[in-house]
Amino acid sequence: MKDCIFCKIAKKEIPSDIVFENKNLMAILDIMPVNPGHTLVITKKHYKTMIDVPDKLLSEMILVSKKVGKAVMKGLKVKGFNLGVNNGTVAGQKIDHVHFHIITRLAKDGLKLWPQRQGYRATEAEKIIKKIKKVL
């Protein structure tokens, strides 16, 4: 895609801090990190969301995220990381090119996970399951 910043990074038209690279993927430091070491795993070919990524490449993204996440933890001596992917604007996706966030976590870093609700009402879960299974 012509105007996509991640496509430009993948083609090395604009600079980035590359942590890892192979034929299909790149891992780069996020320019607006939550914590030091916050890394993005991006596809070199343009796909809007993870739903659009072919299964074989998506599997590779997970394995590279594991490899890079492990290296980030060991190299930066952090105890953990969150792996996140936002699919669509409503889910917080700001760049329409699939990318996984490896967010390093530090004790008392202030990062909060999403709020949770108190379960489902009487028949709500059953209705939701039926709707999902119908399209599976």
SS3 65: helix
* Cβ contact 44:36 at 8 Å: no
Which runs of consecutive H residues, i.e. helices, occur in the chain?
5-10, 55-76, 124-135
The catalytic residue among 38, 97, 99, 101 is 99
Cα gap 91→35, rounded to integer Å:
21
Distances (CA, A) of 78 to 37, 69, 74, 99, 125: 10, 10, 7, 22, 38
The yes-or-no answer on residue 38 being catalytic is no
Residues taking part in catalysis: 99
